[in-house]
Amino acid sequence: MKLRVLLSGLFIVLILTGCSSDSGSGSNAGEDGEISGEITVAAWNLAADSLSETAENFMEEYPDATVTIEYTTSDYNSIIPPLTAGRGAPDIVQVQQRDFPNFMEVFDGQFIDITDRLGDRKSEFAEVAMNLVEKEDTVYAMPWDIGPVGMYYRKDMFEDAGIDPNEITTWDKYIEAGQKLQSELDGVKMSSHSLTNDDIAETYRMLMNQLGGQYYDENGNIQLVREENIQAMDMFKKMVDADLFLQAPTWDDRIRAFSNNQIATVLFPVWYAGTIKTQASDQQGLWGLMPMPAFTEGGPNQSHSGGSVLAISSQTENEALAWEFLEYTLMTNEGQDVQMEYGLFPSWQPYYETEKFSEEDEFFEIALSEFFGELSTDIPPIDYGSHFLDVNSAMADAIGEVVIDGKDIEAALRDAEKKVSNETGLEIAN
């Protein structure tokens, strides 16, 4: 079931059941300053791995506290029902940055206001991340990581195919290189992708952001028919038509694709470095990094994708402990050291001044932070809005119609505008 449908249907239940609840007053930081009690944190994949290590370190420092990491899936199937019912939710939940504005609207009252706890330290976080956790000047979650995008590539495969990565400066050259590589190396595709579910929009979204595309006009009306959006979809179609992608419907399929030496490149943000390192540890030294190719020589080549937030559920009975864990994880050098080990590029900017931040990564043989830092200086801002789940679903349908069925791009985007308008009540921009 699509998340958009889940949220829409459960929103009705939320209204009928009155899901808001008082934040628990269970003490975990008493008058003597002791930190104690128990909390559960829900997260997925690599993010959950990083939190597991962080929790171990935190509990060593605070032996009277117990932090349990609950491994969930990124579709929120185990998170939405308890948020809707108003009971049974984890104390802290991971939500993708782009989804959190929608969560704040649909699950109003289900996240703790941390504005006063943050105080002046709010300015320590990157604005692009902080903007997505605020509603009417109130902060409801802690920004975690941000996702500047780069191109991961197999150095050995490029060398065997006679390809110089420094010459792949545009997407047209990327397509040419992919066709050459696939003709030279049996059983290897240039990359992998899902073309059968909403994940079809992933690469398109990075291309769109690279060009400065948007989903809305300046008045908040839906506006998908834009030159940048059309260019992005046209380029994605060129890649599909060039047969560059190994079909990989799920996250795990895409992991198997690179770990089994079936693909030569991965277009993804900085946080994917941790996935490659942990899932293909035997490939150390084989992976290189280059910037996103541009649409034209010297054109914009920066984009942002992914990134998550950590929010304290208003159902918690251990708010003080939950806050202490968030503060330790995301606002101390010790906590961020762990995040960097897993490729989670911090939105907490004081960490950028530490020696650890600039260390060379042994797996990739470069300083990841410096490489991706250079790719985060001019990322075009993008407004996901509180209806992103509806927009993304409509866009995924439109992309499928274009790249698989051959539908005209502008017609597909106009139909997507109508679909979003019908489902959200948003006006379509003139």
- State the pTM of this model: 0.77
Q: Is 228 helix (H, G, I), strand (E, B) or coil?
A: helix
Segment 354-373, tens digit of pLDDT: 988 888 999 999 998 889 98
Is residue 4's pLDDT more than 50?
Answer: no
Q: Which domains, from first to last, does the chain contain?
A: 3-146+306-354 (3.40.190.10), 149-303+382-424 (3.40.190.10)
pLDDT at 376: 84
In eight-state DSSP terms, residue 18 is: T
- What would the DSSP string read from start to end of 53-96? HHHHHHHHH-TTEEEEEEE--TT-TTTHHHHHHTSS--SEEEEE
Instruction: Please give the average per-residue pLDDT across 245-251, as a whole number.
Output: 93
Task: Tell which residue, 426, 423, 428, 425, has the closest CA to residue 9.
Answer: 423
pLDDT at 33: 55
Residues 158, 286: contact at Cβ < 8 Å? no
Where helices occur in 186-271 by DSSP H, the ranges are 201-211, 227-241, 251-259
Instruction: Please give the average per-residue pLDDT across 308-316, as a whole number.
Output: 97
Instruction: Please give the average per-residue pLDDT across 403-418, as a whole number.
Output: 96
How does the average pLDDT of the chain come out, rounded?
90
Is residue 22's pLDDT more than 90?
Answer: no
Residues 229, 413: contact at Cβ < 8 Å? yes
Identify which has the larger pLDDT, 191 or 35: 191
Is residue 194's pLDDT more than 70?
Answer: yes
Our CA dihedral for 391, 392, 396, 399, rounded to 10 degrees, sits at 70
Residues contacting residue 234 through CB under 8 Å, at least 6 positions apart: 409
Work out the pLDDT band at 112, boundaries 50, 70, 90: very high
Instruction: Please give the average per-residue pLDDT across 256-270, as a whole number.
Output: 96
Segment 54-102, tens digit of pLDDT: 999 999 999 999 999 999 988 899 999 999 999 999 999 999 998 999 8
Residues contacting residue 415 through CB under 8 Å, at least 6 positions apart: 398, 401
Tell me how far apart the alpha carbons of residues 337 and 381 are, in angstroms, rounded to a whole number: 27
| Distances 259 to 186, 188, 194, 394 between C-alpha atoms, Å | 16, 12, 17, 32
Segment 277-301, tens digit of pLDDT: 989 999 999 999 999 999 999 999 9
Identify which has the larger pLDDT, 116 or 278: 116
Is residue 18's pLDDT more than 90?
Answer: no
- What would the DSSP string read from start to end of 386-412? TTHHHHHHHHHHHHHHHHTT---HHHH
Residues contacting residue 305 through CB under 8 Å, at least 6 positions apart: 147, 149, 202, 205, 206, 209, 268, 269
pLDDT at 142: 97
Q: Return the amino acid letter for 59.
A: M
Q: How far apart are the two ends of the chain, measured CA to CA in Å? A: 33
Task: Specify the residue for token string 């009928």.
Answer: 16
